[in-house]
Structure 1
Amino acid sequence: MLLGGIEAGGTKFVCAVSNGNSKQIIDKVSFPTGNPEETLLEAKGFFEKHAIEALGVASFGPVDLNIKSKTYGSFLNTPKEKWKHYPLLEQLRALFNIPVYMDTDVNAACLAEYKFGAGQGSDTCLYITVGTGFGAGLVQNGEIYQGKNHSEMGHVIIKKHPDDPYDGCCPYHGSCIEGMASGLAIEKRYGKKGMELTENDQVWDIEAYYLAQAIMNYYVVLIPEKIIVGGGVMKQEKLYPLIRSYFAEQMNGYLDVGPVDELIVAPELNDEQGVIGAMELIRTK
């Protein structure tokens, strides 16, 4: 059985095919995200080479994941104007005429790491992505957590670092974790992308301070066994020990979290967790 997967990103689409085991990718392609019609036709051209029997989609958001909603599977108020309110799930089902399953990119990534990566062996796994934006997803006992709709963990409010005058880039909340610690926040605060600030230790100290706060907030609410932190910003590997140190300091002994270096970890799926998770949705939805 051939499975298809799409990691539908705001910048690029990644399409892949596996032989039934989501991790065993036999073909893959990546191309820029254009307008919906052109982008889906390019995806169709790739999948026409393979007789896939089902398709999983891990999408950027926000998307409507409330199965009772009339707009289920459609984009909501996304900043990508051409995709706003676009009925992605409906269009994919019409285009391929096979079962199509959809969730957010971060939820799918969490599922992949839970099944095949750094979350293996845990019952509860939290995956956080720190990239241009900020998102998080939770898998518990093999199932993705969802309330009325998908969660927006990037918008928890955090306390500002005493040496940081920046007020945040989130147009809705200012100093939420996305507004203060996303890749966009770093670029707007310093006028440079994170990759240009590698040697500036203060940048990463402040970044770790914020990420640790968010992680502590998630931890006391969810008590996950494993917290996996990925995304482009986390390519700065010096962040991991800084985050663990600040997390322990902010927790202040309130809960016994065990070895922090085993709790807060890096992903293990080499940036393929999104598309692997997309295919794994077929097994869990």
Structure 2
Amino acid sequence: MNDATVSDRRLAGVELGGTKAIVVLADGLDIVERVAIPTTTPAETLARAVDVLAAWRFDAIGIGSFGPVRVDRSAPDFGTMLDTPKPGWRGARIVAPFAERFACPVALDTDVNVAGMAEAAVGAGRDCRTIVYLTIGTGVGGGIVVAGKPVAGRLHPEVGHLRLRRAAGDAFTGACPFHGDCVEGLISGPALAARFGRDPAKVDPADAGWEMAVQDFAELFAALMLTLSPERIIVGGSVALGQPDLMVRATVVAADRLIGYVPDYDAEALARIVVPPALGHDAGPLGTIFLAASALPG
């Protein structure tokens, strides 16, 4: 996917997050309208998004949703929310309200996949063949984009629920309701709040308690490098952007774990590979526009 694909199109997008949905309209790559909606019940949230879109003219809609959500168009439950920890959203039909209301293509993918599409096309992953887009916030999500296209198989990647080697001496049981000490259960915002007993944004970066999180991030970065060998790992979300020193420290530790086996992955190389998003908070909304473009015929 490249910016020429959308340059002469009027496209709409919905970034459906766990706390808010952002509905956008774009002329090419320029977002000209933007409306934020609180994520409440599925019926209320999706109906409000449809109402916003009904006032605009566009050629296609891209939806980037939190998950897990069925993105396989051949599946009988395509467009349906699966076993999400978001109360009330399990079984919600995400695509149907839009497909039933608008006579245009409607595409669906995960919120992190679409953000990765935008970063790969015009952001920190530009000119890279393989990137991983991570968001560390209320949850942990990971989108994998290869040659401009998001990776999906039977389901979409669920990087946040990987089980990784625990740091020596760490007794924290984790906060994921499904897996306890998976990635999300260790380094998401709620997990860090449980570990520290307070809002992690208010914890001094020099606090010794961050060392365990550094170890967890390092283990995640090392696992991604060994499994996918991405040219960029782009890390966004409130936790990562609020504690940038955490990412720097984690890349050094990750390099130490990798360098004995893969000399290419030293600290200097990982400092270039693990980066913040160039598009900031616009990665998701702009990604839905690239997704909408991918649904256009021809």
Q: Secondary structure at the match of 2:100?
A: helix
Q: Is 1:279 the counterpart of 2:289 in the alignment?
A: yes
User: Corresponding residue for 2:4?
Assistant: none
8 Å contact 2:176–2:182 — kept in the other structure? yes
User: Corresponding residue for 1:218?
Assistant: 224
Letter in 1 for 2:11: L
Q: Secondary structure at the match of 1:43?
A: helix
8 Å contact 1:7–1:59 — kept in the other structure? yes
8 Å contact 1:257–1:263 — kept in the other structure? no
Q: Secondary structure at the match of 1:26?
A: strand
Whole-Å Cα distance in 2 between the matches of residues 148 and 75 of structure 1? 15
> How far 1:143 moved relative to its partner?
1.2
User: Corresponding residue for 2:20?
Assistant: 12
Letter in 1 for 2:94: L
> How far 1:274 moved relative to its partner?
0.8
8 Å contact 2:11–2:293 — kept in the other structure? no
User: Corresponding residue for 1:175?
Assistant: 181
8 Å contact 2:236–2:280 — kept in the other structure? no
Q: Is 1:248 the counterpart of 2:249 in the alignment?
A: no
User: Corresponding residue for 1:150?
Assistant: 156
Letter in 2 for 1:5: G
User: Corresponding residue for 2:110?
Assistant: 104
8 Å contact 1:14–1:29 — kept in the other structure? yes
Change (3 A) 1:245 1:152: same
Whole-Å Cα distance in 2 between the matches of residues 97 and 34 of structure 1? 26
User: Corresponding residue for 1:33?
Assistant: 39
Whole-Å Cα distance in 2 between the matches of residues 18 and 204 of structure 1? 40
Q: Secondary structure at the match of 1:82?
A: coil
> How far 1:200 moved relative to its partner?
4.6
Q: How does 1:1-285 map to 2 (within 5 A)?
A: 1-21=9-29, 24-234=30-240, 235-255=242-262, 256-257=264-265, 259-285=269-295
Whole-Å Cα distance in 2 between the matches of residues 272 and 173 of structure 1? 31
Letter in 2 for 1:162: A
> How far 1:130 moved relative to its partner?
0.9
* 1:90-137 per-position Cα deviation (integer Å, ceiling 9, x unaligned): 221112232111100011111111011100111111111111111111
Give the share of equivalent positions with the same residue, in percent. Answer: 34
**TM-score where L is the length of structure 1:** 0.94
8 Å contact 1:205–1:242 — kept in the other structure? no
Gaps (5+ residues) in structure 1?
none
Whole-Å Cα distance in 1 between the matches of residues 15 and 214 of structure 2? 28
Give RMSD over aligned pairs. Answer: 1.5
Change (3 A) 1:226 1:199: closer
Q: Secondary structure at the match of 2:280?
A: coil
> How far 1:253 moved relative to its partner?
2.8
> How far 1:151 moved relative to its partner?
1.2
Aligned residues between the structures: 283
Q: Secondary structure at the match of 2:95?
A: helix
Letter in 2 for 1:245: V
Whole-Å Cα distance in 2 between the matches of residues 39 and 157 of structure 1? 32
